[in-house]
A and B are shown apart, each in its own frame.
Chain A
Amino acid sequence: MTELREWFRRLKDKLVHILVYLALIAALTPLFSVLWEVFRRGISAINLDFFVKPTPAVGEVGGGVANAIQGTLITIGLASLIGVPIGIITGMFLSEYSETRLSSFVRLFNELLNGMPSIVIGLFAYALIATKIGFSVTAASFALALIMIPIVSRATEEALKLVPATIREAALALGMPRWKTAIFVALRGARKAVATGVLLAMARIAGESAPVLVTMGYWKWWFTGFDRPVAYLALNIFLFAKSPFENWIALAWGSALILVVIILGINVIVRLLMREKSL
């Protein structure tokens, strides 16, 4: 009797062992499929025109995503100008005064903001800004900045935690006021980690299309002002992917390839940098 039970137990053990690896394969297969297809279909769409010409008319040969690249850079730039300082300062507060009641609240709300659907954040930016100045880069950047804040804040807080207490104490012992220590010693020491956090936040918003859709919409021209929309690469993919026109579908894959290369590239670089930093 016990032999049967014994055998059963070993069987279950082996079964789980196999299932667990199957799960891993199941999870990784879509990733490799996505990367492969994006590479395969995107590479044929990429040529010099792709990088220097703006959005083509429907069905036209040629044309590219140059205006979308420009628009994306400008929008990310503006969003970072707003989101990064707020994120860093919030992170500093959380690390310097982490025992206070306020900081628990702030951490909670940061977490809530982080988990918010990006399209809802976009709707908020629409209601707050776009209803007043119309679909615009400003509205889109604001929405994207909101997405960046929790990411940058978290990264800053974690980075500051890693600064050894001895360095802080040395500065304080030498007569530096606490606030100067926080900025010029702690933050300075953590700047690499904070920079990687900022890079990751930028990579994240480069891929966001939902908030941009509801604050800016589509634009086929070059940048003409912060109170007008611009073309956004991730959003263009959405527009082109749903269309039946071959030239637009090709541009969708090409844009996806660039986006994936840049975003994954940043993630890879950041992780490599973090690895060499830890100890």
Chain B
Amino acid sequence: MKKSTTLTAALLAVIVLVGVATWQLLALQTAGQETSRPPQSAKEVSINGAGATFPFPLIDKWSSEYHKTHPNVKINYQPIGSGGGQRAHIERTVHFAASDAPLSEEQLQKAPSTLHIPITIGSVVVIYNLPDVPKGLNFSGEALAKIFLGEIKKWSDPAIVALNPGVQLPDEEIVVVHRSDSSGTTYVFTDYLSAVSQEWKERVGKGTAVKWPAPRSLGAKGNDGVAALVKQTPYSIGYVEFTYAMKTGLPCGKVMNAAGEYVEPSIESVKKAVEYAAIELPRGDESWSKVSIVQSVVHNAQAKGAYPITSFSYVIVYKELSVLPGMDKATAEALVHFLWWCVHDGQKYAAELYYVPLPSNVVRLNEDTLRMITFNGQRVLGGLRG
């Protein structure tokens, strides 16, 4: 009996080993198919970024796609919220940070020579979970402010009913869902609420983290957390970046713009907002704290078809990369090339993820900004294209 058990054990071990080997071969085979093999001289580089969840789906897509053509470069991005990204940038614990809120003057003091690079344009949409209500509920700025202030408590409130004639709204309490972490999405949304409601502006104001006045509200971490919570909680309302609503199948509300129209968020309506915004954009190395598409569009009665809650999303980096501990020339070059790729080739992935590609003037602005980046005093991108 002893012999047969050892035999079976050995046989089992061989089968397992063969199985694992085949599996690894298969897996690495498919991995191999996905990468085109560039010259092997390229060094293994790991780039670390952290920040907003707003552009995360796009950055995630970029890191996968870029890796296919540059398999030696791994981009690790931690979606911890704009506030986390800003802090990481100030504390120099990441190579690049992402934030939907530009750095404030105060933060710029702590992180001099910061470059802002808008990498995409997105929008903040209102999502809700009403089981029997069709998509596209209408909201006005005032109504939204009152809901999030906790003054409108039920879905059946006359204010909401008036905006949506013919829709059966349930007599249930509204569960307000907001961000529990420091968030650029919150910054954009509260920027909008402050613009459309004097009461909101005075009582709450705008910021990456505010005191949410609605008494029965729930907080979630990240855009994904808010989306998940709204998805799981009947009669809830929340705000997320557009992609999260589309990718999770949650209905978006139509928001009234200054032209009096109820606009549904879409690539076109967001594009229109950017066009009508026509803001003077500062140089990459200047302060962007006053830049706000929302402010430029929200009171513009000529902005037909524009979706008002629209915003840039930024990558912030230091002009002189050697200030980051552990940074070397190879990583610096890889980072800048990656960012160059993002604002050019990367833009073609924006639309399928419901982001708006950057208009050409912004791309040109970014090219100038990227050319400013140096490592140990030397420009990383020599000439026209590095």
Contacts and interface: CB of A to CB of B under 8 A. Distances in A.
Given A242-B224, A242-B225, A242-B228, A59 B30 contact: no
Interface residues of A, number: 25
B317 to A, nearest CB: 21
A51 B27 contact: yes
Interface centre among A53, A59, A242, A243 (most CB of B within 10 A): A59
A246 B31 contact: no
Interface stretch (A32-40, A117-125, A221-229): A221-229
Contact of B74 (A60, A221, A244): A221
A254 interface: no
Nearest to A249: B228
Interface of B: 20, 23-24, 26-31, 44, 46, 56-57, 60-61, 63-64, 67, 74, 76, 78, 224-225, 227-228, 231, 243-244, 247-250, 353
A190 to B, nearest CB: 14
Interface in A209-239: 217, 219-222, 224, 228
A243 B27 contact: no
Contacts of B20: 73
A58 B31 contact: no
Dominant secondary structure at the B interface: helix
A245 interface: yes
A224 B45 CA distance: 11
Given A58-B57, A58-B61, A243 B31 contact: no
Contacts of A244: 224, 227-228, 231, 244, 247-248, 250
A246 B27 contact: no
Nearest to A218: B78
Nearest to B240: A244
Contacts of A73: 20
Interface of A: 51-54, 56-60, 66, 69-70, 73, 217, 219-222, 224, 228, 242-246
Nearest to A63: B64
Contacts of A222: 28, 31
Contact of A66 (B27, B44, B228): B27
Nearest to B26: A52
Contacts of A66: 23, 27
A52 B61 contact: no
A224 B60 contact: no
Contact of A59 (B46, B67, B228, B353): B353
24 contacts: A51-B23, A51-B27, A52-B23, A52-B27, A52-B30, A53-B30, A54-B27, A57-B60, A57-B63, A58-B247, A59-B243, A59-B247, A59-B353, A66-B23, A70-B24, A217-B78, A220-B76, A221-B74, A222-B31, A244-B231, A244-B244, A244-B250, A245-B224, A245-B248
B116 to A, nearest CB: 25
B248 A246 contact: yes
Contacts of A56: 64
Given A56-B64, A246-B248, 14 more contacts: A51-B23, A51-B26, A52-B30, A54-B27, A54-B31, A59-B243, A66-B23, A69-B23, A73-B20, A217-B78, A243-B224, A244-B247, A245-B224, A246-B247
A219 B78 CA distance: 10
Nearest to B353: A59
A209 B32 CA distance: 29
A58 B228 CA distance: 14
